[in-house]
Amino acid sequence: MAKPGKRSFTFEFKLEVVRRFVAGEATAADLASKHDLASPRRVENWARRYRLDCEDALRPRPKG
In this prediction, residue 31 has a pLDDT band, given cuts at 50, 70 and 90, of very high
CB atoms within 10 A of CB 4: 5
Q: pLDDT tens digits for 15-24? A: 999 999 999 9
DSSP state string for 1-49: -PPTT-----HHHHHHHHHHHHTTSS-HHHHHHHTT-S-HHHHHHHHHH
Cα angle 19, 33, 17; round to 5: 15
| pLDDT the model gives residue 1 | 52
What pTM value is reported for the model? 0.83
